[in-house]
Amino acid sequence: MNEFDWIRSIAPTHHHRSSVIQGIGDDAAVFRPRNGWDMVTAVDSFSEGVHFTKDTMPLDAVGYKLLAANVSDLAAMGAVPLYYLVSAAIPATGWKLSELDPVYAGMKRLGDAYSMDLIGGDTISTGNGLVLTITVIGRVEQDRRLLRSSARPGDVLFLTGPVGLAAAGLSRLLAQGKSAWSKERDIEAHQYPVPHVEYGRVFAESGLRVAINDVSDGIAHEAEEIAEASNVAVTIIRERLPETGIQAESSKLEDWMLRGGEDFVLIGAASEADYLGLEKTCAEQELPLYRIGFVEEGNAQVVIERNGKRERLTGGGYSHF
């Protein structure tokens, strides 16, 4: 099968969204946005040997997780996921074109869960490992986008789910390879993370001031981004972080929770009154919220509080360069 036959083989036979005017099959995709909505877009790449290996990820999980990481960015803006485009740089050796089928099937599995349409992309050959790049497009009600810069002194700091599971799973996968593949929570959290779109929609639809960031690089890093964007001081209370149920040394477990990343839950800040309202709305939809700290005046920084003792929290966030 050549490149063009393969592209035809992965092209969708139908579209979930009636807003798609032209998908795969022409020079560019065309979609028609709805009035009263802001369009939201994000792009991310997965590189073999950096983000995954064939020993740590089933092929379908590679595609699933890449799309999940991008959908999580839409969730952090409160957006409804709509479309995605995929660029694949395929190495001349080490990969067969047929191996891309389960990768795209993994994307489709998650895309179908949110009624997202694959509307285009590109394929090229490369001399190195597989590189996949996804661009996602969503929409959020006009002027309802959720921004990191919205935190204010006096706010409650909260999480939409436990953190550290994905890092714990990666640790096991790096040590044990394919023998660790299982349905256990830490392995599933690393290979098949679930973006918290429903939470983002609750926050956006509320119309309240809510600062949100998705946890791709660990809450130490994501809290710092909120602190910098809002010019506030953020405190994380260690004892309030939701338990993962993972057994490990306390220092290692804490590092996974604070700096592990790739959990793709949301970390946010809202006023006390607004938080209580959001907590009630989320509970009605069986979406638990976890109060983990607070926001106060101060230069952009993050503090960790353990047993009443406070210290500056630094580190976290993977740097490619």
Which range, of 1-10, 208-217, 257-266, averages the lowest pLDDT?
1-10
Average pLDDT of the chain, as a whole number: 94
Kind plus residue range of the DSSP H or E element containing 228: helix 219-230
Provide, rounded to the nearest whole percent, the portion of the chain with pLDDT above 90: 82
Q: Per-domain residue ranges for the chain?
A: 3-141, 148-312
Q: For tokens 């509080």, name the residue.
A: 305
For the stretch 22-64, pLDDT in tens is 888 877 889 899 999 999 999 999 999 999 999 999 999 999 9
148-312 under CATH 3.40.50.970, yes or no: no
Q: Measuring CA to CA, which residue among 152, 251, 269 is closest to residue 213?
A: 269
pLDDT for res 92: 84
- Above 70 in pLDDT, residue 105? yes
pLDDT for res 318: 64
Which residue positions form the known binding site for Mg(2+)? 27, 44, 73, 122, 214, 217
Which residue positions form the known binding site for ATP? 104, 121-122, 148, 216
For the stretch 141-199, pLDDT in tens is 999 999 999 999 999 999 999 999 999 999 999 999 999 999 999 999 999 999 999 99
pLDDT for res 8: 79
Q: Measuring CA to CA, which residue among 267, 52, 286 is closest to residue 163?
A: 267
| Type of residue at 282 | C
Q: What is the DSSP string of 128-196?
A: SS-EEEEEEEEEEETT----GGG--TTPEEEESS--SHHHHHHHHHHHHGGGG-SS-HHHHHHHS----
pLDDT for res 11: 82
- From residue 13, alpha-carbon distances to 41, 100, 117 in Å are 24, 18, 10
Which range, of 30-44, 201-215, 275-289, averages the lowest pLDDT?
30-44
3-141 under CATH 1.20.200.10, yes or no: no
Which residue positions form the known binding site for substrate? 51, 262, 318
Which residue positions form the known binding site? 27, 44, 51, 73, 104, 121-122, 148, 214, 216-217, 262, 318
For 96, residues 6+ apart whose C-beta sits below 8 A from its C-beta are none
For the stretch 3-27, pLDDT in tens is 667 777 878 888 998 899 988 887 7
pLDDT for res 90: 92
pTM tops 0.85: yes
Q: Do domains 3-141 and 148-312 have the same CATH topology?
A: no
pLDDT for res 321: 55
Provide, rounded to the nearest whole percent, the portion of the chain with pLDDT above 70: 97
Rounded-to-integer distance, Cα 167 and Cα 218, Å: 9
pLDDT for res 185: 96
